[in-house]
Structure 1
Amino acid sequence: MQWKDLKAQLLETGAVHLTGEPAERFVARSAAGPGAGGSGAVFFAMGSHRVKLALDPASPVEVVHRGNGAADLYLDGNLISGRLLEPGFHCPDQAFITVTGSCIFRCRYCNVPNTHGKRKSIDEIMAMVESVRHRIHAISITSGVLESIEEEEAYVLEVVRRLACFRLPIGVSIYPTEKTPDRLHEIGVAEVKFNLEAATPELFLKMCPGLDYSRIWQVLDRSVELFGKNRVFSNVIIGLGETDAELVACIWRLTSHGVIPVFRPLNPVAELSDVPRPSAGRLKKIFAVHGQALEAAGLDARLAETMCTNCAGCDLVPGRDG
């Protein structure tokens, strides 16, 4: 089985039952994104490939930890040998840190408002990065919104200024003001990710009440002007009710603007807890179009230094997964 076929199957399932030797040091915890508030996840790797899977004892997929990271994955009667990766924070090789673990907005697919997480102090964030400095190559910052979009931006800017002393590439993904790209660029951020979330403005309005779809497009265009090719990204969730044609149109529009899309399979939580995850077949179909669109636009996801595209755990990434 090719890696992209295996990964698509695993992303359709989304979770594993972890057994065997104690594996706590290989378990990643998330305060934002698809796994916020969950029981953790593991990164299963084969060679340079990896996939992130939530922990769920009811999953039909089993990973048996043999010790020291060596692991066997059992899927449909097949045994696949690999290893578990030790995370920095949230993912391997990076300190991917959520600054504020709560949010005043209530996007229907997001569990962060329900977790009531706290805001980390700057000293706390500095100590977190220092604790994993020996095994990371990048710092990535994301955040909810504690009081307002403007106040959150100001706080994240101060966090990034302090983190500059580590001399590592820093990626930032927050909900932006119109000036966020300029301000992040001025203080030396390497890459940015501003998330469309939904393939169409109509779906965005339905899923993210109170947020502005057109502003995100404006901010993405400004970001490409400032940061250049292969340094600007945008999450789009697969499975919110969009058609394949709408997803394909979104892919080509993003890449034609110089933005690398990140296609994230829906994690059924919050108000969408009864919505099924997208099928492996659909993920592979979108993956093929994604790769064609990146190539046509002269974009290369393999050049990402930070955040989700560099990690490639939660999504199929052209050039990384086939």
Structure 2
Amino acid sequence: MHWGTLKARILAHGSVRLTGTYRFHPEQSTAGPGAGGRGSIFFATSQGRIRLALDDYSLLTLTADADGSARLTGPDIDICGHIEEAVYHCPRQAFITLSEGCIFSCRYCAVPSLPKYIKTRDEVCAMITAVKDDIDAISLTSGVIGSVEEDEKRAVAVVQAVADFGIPVGVSIYPLPGTPQRLKDAGACEVKFNIEAATPTLFHEMCPGLDYAATWEILEDSVRIFGRNRVFSNVILGLGETDAEMETCIRRLTEIGVIPVIRPLAPSPGLPGLLRPTADRMLRMAEFAKNALAKAGLDPTQAKTMCTLCGGCDLVAGRDI
């Protein structure tokens, strides 16, 4: 079976039940899919990696031996690989949440319900110092605590400090006009500003208080500042959009030079009735994105930081399919 097809089937489940003798510490998320949950584990083969939430009732079972070798089984799935330990949030990256918690209340996101905590610049530098020999990238994300302006100011200060490590730095925060240039000047090499929903109607329903049109404008500005293949945007698959609406969003992103990160919905109590997208739908949208990216001359495999470099949560066009 082609890797992309198999990965889509696994991602459609999104979770795994763990068994075996391997001792490890599940990765605990404070941002993104799985934030506030029990944790997750990375399963990898020679073809790629997958991040799966821990769930004792999952239809998938991951049996891991003491040496880290593992076998993933479930409906129409039987594949051998190994466990990849996360450094911070994912393998080979210091992917650090600066502000844990958020003043906004996006319906698909658990971050606003988490205890609020802001990491200091010195704390982040100490975290990176402890793992600098085991990482290829520094990726910074953040909720918004206080105000968007305060959060951006903190992020810029941290980027300035960690740029001295000489490791590529990527940043994903809620942006303001001028944010891309300030992050670039501080030392960031890539940014990810998230459109989140395929249509403005869905965005306003899911993300009250956030500005859809302004984010598009800032993404365009980001491409001018950072260059092509250095600007990314999450679009959640499964919020109620049609395939045609998702395709329109993907095409619009690629036409302005932005690489879309098509993130399968993680169902939550805030979204009753919405289910995780099927494997077939993930594959359709990933294939469409692959073609749109090629037409625009964009290459996700050039990513130096963040989600597209990791690829655990999504199908990465050009790598997985």
In 2, the alpha carbon distance for the partners of 1:274 and 1:38 equals: 20
Where do residues 249-268 of structure 1 align in structure 2 (5 Å cutoff)?
249-268=248-267
CA distance in 2, matches of 1:175, 1:309: 18
Instruction: Tell me how far 1:185 sits from its aligned partner.
Output: 1.0
Q: Which amino acid aligns with 1:10?
A: I
- SS of equivalent to 1:178: coil
- Asked if residue 147 in structure 1 is aligned to residue 146 in structure 2, the reply is yes
* d(CA) in 2 for partners of 1:133, 1:269: 35
Match of 1:3 in 2: 3
Output one character per residue of 1:146-203: Cα deviation in whole Å (capped at 9) or x when no partner. Answer: 0000010001111111111211000000000101001011112110000000001111
Q: What is the aligned partner in structure 2 of residue 110 from structure 1?
A: 109
Match of 1:296 in 2: 295
Match of 2:18 in 1: 18
Q: What amino acid sits opposite 1:314 in the alignment? A: C
Q: What does 1:225-240 correspond to in 2, within 5 Å?
A: 225-240=224-239
Contact 2:64-2:70 at 8 Å conserved across structures: yes
Query: Which secondary structure state, in structure 1, belongs to the residue aligned with residue 33 of structure 2?
Result: helix
Letter in 1 for 2:176: T
**1:66: which partner in 2?**
65
Q: 1:76 & 1:234 partners in 2: Cα distance?
A: 32
Is the contact between residue 110 and residue 270 of structure 1 (CA under 8 Å) also seen in structure 2? no
User: What amino acid is the match of 1:304?
Assistant: A
Segments of 5+ residues of structure 1 without an aligned counterpart are none
**1:45-194 pair list within 5 angstroms:** 45-76=44-75, 78-194=77-193
Does residue 286 (structure 1) correspond to residue 282 (structure 2)? The answer is no
Structure 1 residues 273 and 10: CA distance shift in structure 2, 3 A: farther
Change in CA separation of 1:238 and 1:321 when aligned onto 2, cut-off 3 Å: same
CA distance in 2, matches of 1:55, 1:69: 17
Structure 1 residues 207 and 163: CA distance shift in structure 2, 3 A: same
* Equivalent position amino acid for 2:36 in 1: G
User: What secondary structure sits across from 1:271 in the alignment?
Assistant: coil
> Is the partner of 1:63 in helix, strand or coil?
strand
Q: Is contact 1:31–1:117 with CA below 8 Å preserved after alignment?
A: no
Using a 3 Å threshold, how does the CA distance of structure 1 residues 226 and 78 change in structure 2: closer, same or farther? closer
Does the 8 A contact of 2:3 with 2:47 survive in 1? no
Secondary structure class of the residue paired with 1:209? coil
Identity %: 52
Query: Aligned partners of 2:171, 2:146: CA distance in 1, in Å?
Result: 19
Query: Which amino acid counterpart does residue 11 of structure 1 have in structure 2?
Result: L
2:281 partner amino acid? R
Distance apart, 1:211 and its partner CA: 0.5
- Unaligned ranges ≥5, structure 2: none
Q: Which amino acid aligns with 1:20?
A: G
Q: 1-side partners of 2:4 and 2:213: how far apart?
A: 33
Q: Which amino acid aligns with 2:24?
A: E
Residues 199-238 of structure 1 correspond to what in structure 2 (within 5 A)?
199-238=198-237
Q: Which amino acid aligns with 1:223?
A: S
CA RMSD of aligned residues (A): 1.1
Off by >4 Å, runs of 4+ in structure 1: none
Q: CA deviation at 1:68?
A: 2.5
In the alignment, the residues of structure 2 paired with residue 81 and residue 180 of structure 1 have an alpha-carbon distance, to the nearest angstrom, of 44
Q: In structure 1, how many angstroms separate the alpha carbons of the residues matched to 2:66 and 2:128?
A: 26
Q: What is the identity, as a one-letter code, of the residue corresponding to 2:144?
A: V
Q: Distance in 2 between matches of 1:311 and 1:319?
A: 13
Q: Which moved more, 1:114-123 or 1:98-107?
A: 114-123
Q: d(CA) in 1 for partners of 2:76 and 2:233?
A: 37
- Preserved CA contact (<8 Å) 2:22 2:68: no
For each residue in 1:260-299, what CA deviation from the matched residue of structure 2 results, as whole angstroms up to 9, or x when unmatched?
Answer: 0000000012412542100001000001100000000000
Query: Partners of 2:245 and 2:57 in 1: how far apart?
Result: 33
> CA 1:208–1:228 in structure 2 vs 1: closer, same or farther (change >3 Å)?
same
Structure 1 residues 186 and 77: CA distance shift in structure 2, 3 A: closer
Rounded Cα–Cα distance in structure 1 between residues aligned with 2:267 and 2:4: 22
Query: Following TM superposition, by how much is the alpha carbon of 1:2 offset from its aligned partner in structure 2, in angstroms?
Result: 1.3
For residues 116 and 23 of structure 2, what CA distance do their matches in structure 1 show? 25
The answer (yes or no) to whether the contact 1:111–1:270 under 8 Å persists in 2 is no
